[in-house]
Chains A and B, each alone.
Chain A
Amino acid sequence: SVAKRAVAEAAQHDKVPRPVGFLPPPPPCPGKIRHFKI
């Protein structure tokens, strides 16, 4: 029988390690709400 590697384990090894605290920049638009959103 063919032993199938756990996908999660494979994905884990393939994932590029991200530096701790990396956050994608906020989208440029829409901007901040100055009063309230209706």
Chain B
Amino acid sequence: VPAAAPAPLGCDDPESEAAADVAVSYINGQSHHGYKFALNRIENIRVIPQGLNNDIIFLELDLLETSCHILNPTPLVNCSVRSFTEHAVEGDCDVKLQKVDGVFSVLASKCNSHADSSEDIIQLCPDCPLLASLNNTEVLTTVTAALNAYNSKTAGAYLRLLEVGRAKIQYEPVHNVIVEFAVAATNCSAEEAKDNVEACQLLPDDQSNFGFCTATMVTRPSQDLRADCKLYGHQVPTPDPGVTYSQAGQGTS
């Protein structure tokens, strides 16, 4: 009597979670902008046997944005997921993996991300600041003012803007712009930059030193700007030993 087909994998089975961990590592590893994402739920899993110890696995994953920028070396497990009232961002990913002799490799992945609806946030927290467009004029003004303020006070390297990661605007009870942005150290000190800022270039990859800044600018009832930046220090790139990526991977679209 032919052996009964194995029961379909459940979304909470250890093997499904192992596959999801490889997929999330791959997705974060392929991303060069924004924030790291963490697994929130395995929506579905389909296994298509290809032969002995060889399966193709299709995963549908529900991810949530964390507070770690993609350049932050902090391990994902230590990155906190944005709370609902911080205006969470969800990622929906479809990932195709292959499992050969127990080793997972990612063949392709496709992700879409979207912020939670503002109505949901307002319903629960009427005064919570809401996500704003990254090219909003107030946002760009706040980022520029915050980086200039930081560079004018720091005794360290002159920092250049890499990208604006997130921005929120609060309207009541004060008018407040909250921004997060990624920066990189240049080959100038902040003092040298005052004389000739054009000469200040980002450090080469083998010396790169990225960082992250947060700033808030209250414009009403009074003006108040606060900026804080932290550099990660030079990171020696290390491939993740627990994950293998197939060369044929289609990358993440």
Which of A31, A33, A35, A38 is close to B38, meaning CB atoms less than 8 Å apart? Answer: A35
Per the 8 Å Cβ criterion, residues 4-35 of A in contact with B are 28-35
Kindly list chain B residues whose C-beta atoms are within 8 Å of the C-beta of A32: 11-12, 41
Min distance, Cβ A34 to any Cβ of chain B, angstroms: 5
Fill in one digit per residue for B4-17: 1 if any A CB lies within 8 Å of its CB, else 0.
00001111110010
Kindly list chain A residues whose C-beta atoms are within 8 Å of the C-beta of B120: 38
CA distance A14 to B175 in the complex (A): 69
List of 10 A-B pairs having minimum Cβ-Cβ separation, nearest first: A31-B11, A28-B10, A29-B11, A31-B42, A38-B116, A31-B12, A30-B43, A29-B44, A35-B81, A33-B41
B164 within 8 A of A: no
Q: Is there contact, CB below 8 Å, between A31 and B10?
A: yes
Kindly list chain B residues whose C-beta atoms are within 8 Å of the C-beta of A31: 10-12, 16, 41-43
CA distance A34 to B62 in the complex (A): 10
* Residue among A29, A30, A37 with most chain B CB within 10 A: A29
* Residue among A30, A34, A37, A38 with most chain B CB within 10 A: A38
Min distance, Cβ B64 to any Cβ of chain A, angstroms: 5
**Which residue from chain A places its CB closest to the CB of B20 in the assembled complex?**
A31
B97 within 8 A of A: no
CA distance A32 to B40 in the complex (A): 8
Min distance, Cβ A37 to any Cβ of chain B, angstroms: 8
CA distance A38 to B86 in the complex (A): 12
Kindly list chain B residues whose C-beta atoms are within 8 Å of the C-beta of A29: 10-11, 42-45
A-B contact pairs, 30 of them (CB 8 A): A28-B8, A28-B10, A28-B11, A28-B13, A29-B10, A29-B42, A29-B43, A29-B44, A29-B45, A30-B41, A30-B43, A31-B11, A31-B41, A31-B42, A31-B43, A32-B11, A32-B41, A33-B41, A34-B38, A34-B39, A34-B41, A35-B38, A36-B64, A36-B88, A37-B40, A37-B41, A38-B64, A38-B84, A38-B90, A38-B120
CA distance A19 to B11 in the complex (A): 28
Q: Is there contact, CB below 8 Å, between B44 and A35?
A: no
Which of B12, B16, B42, B88 is close to A38, meaning CB atoms less than 8 Å apart? Answer: B88
CA distance A31 to B180 in the complex (A): 33
Min distance, Cβ A28 to any Cβ of chain B, angstroms: 4
Fill in one digit per residue for B38-75: 1 if any A CB lies within 8 Å of its CB, else 0.
11111111000000000000000010100000000000
Q: Is there contact, CB below 8 Å, between A30 and B81?
A: no
CA distance A36 to B41 in the complex (A): 9
CA distance A32 to B11 in the complex (A): 8
* Residue among B12, B38, B39, B88 with most chain A CB within 10 A: B12
